Structure 1
Amino acid sequence: MNAREALGRYGEDLAARRLRAAGMAVLERNWRCAAGEIDIVARDRDALVVCEVKTRRAGGWEHPMAAVTPAKAARLRRLASRWLTERWIARYGRPPTGGVRLDVVGIWLPDRGAPLVEHVRGAA
């Protein structure tokens, strides 16, 4: 695993802990298909949550949330639809009653101190 992958894995671990602390159940991590990857799929009561995680080190130019561009959000919606069909509906036969929500968790790693974790619900 290279440094970039390790940073991403660390951020995803923090994000999964934050989602669980908020009462969500993490259903799957790093789901891949030919069209791309979903970082985290979770359940928030009766809603399905597709979560993009962005981790940045201090000193970078861009806030982690800024990395979720309109094109990235559109790709996440397509991936969410595919996951819903292949995993959820294949198992339960119908969409979740609470619908599907796209969240973003931004992780900012300062030079010193604890990471800053920001969870935006319905962001994309």
Structure 2
Amino acid sequence: MTDKKALGARGEELAARYLRSSGWEIIGRNWRCRYGELDLIARDARYTAFIEVKTRRGLGFGVPAESVTYAKRRRIRTLALLWLNEHDGPLRRVRFDVISVLLLPGQRPVIDHLEAVF
């Protein structure tokens, strides 16, 4: 596994733990189709959330969430529609979240959950 993939996998694991500890059920991880990948899909009593996880080791390029571009948001919406068409289940409201994970050397991870950001 490349260093970049390992960093992303670590961030996704931390984000999933955070969500579970906040009462969310993880119902999908790294769901893929020919159009791309959804990092995390989670639900609680009210929402199904499609969550993009961004992880960085520093702030040299800004906070991790800043890297979720317009094109990325558009792709996530498309993927979410495809996922919803494939999966039956209780109808809930849908939202799109971003979880930013900052892994600074020698410090505890900083997790910022931005809810319903697009």
3-state SS of 1:122 partner = coil
TM-score by length of 2: 0.94
Aligned to 1:74: 74
* Structure 1 portions without partners, runs of 5+: none
Question: Which of residues 96, 104, 111 in structure 2 aligns to 1:110?
Answer: 104
Counterpart-to-counterpart distance in 1, 2:44 and 2:98: 14
Render the CA deviation track for 1:19-56: whole Å, top value 9, x for unaligned. 11111000010000001000001112131110000000
- Taking only aligned residues, the RMSD between alpha carbons, in angstroms, comes to 1.2
Runs of 4+ with deviation above 6 angstroms: none
Task: Tell me, in whole angstroms, the C-alpha distance in 2 between the residues paired with 1:4 and 1:62.
Answer: 17
Letter in 2 for 1:13: E
Q: Normalising to structure 1: TM-score of the pair? A: 0.90
Map 1:12-23 onto structure 2 (within 5 A): 12-23=12-23
Moved more, 44-53 or 24-33: 44-53
CA 1:59–1:43 in 2, change beyond 3 Å: closer, same or farther?
A: closer
1:64-96 deviation per Cα after TM superposition (whole angstroms, max 9, x unaligned): 010111111111111111100012xxx33xx72
Q: Distance in 2 between matches of 1:36 and 1:59?
A: 26
Q: Deviations over 1:80-122 (max 9, x none)?
A: 11100012xxx33xx72x3111000000111221010000110
Q: Which shows bigger deviation, 31-40 or 52-61? A: 52-61
Aligned residues: 118
Question: SS of the counterpart of 2:82?
Answer: helix
Q: Quote the offset at 1:60 in angstroms.
A: 2.7
> SS in structure 2 opposite 1:66?
helix
Structure 2: unaligned runs, 5 residues or longer: none
Structure 2 SS opposite 1:4: helix
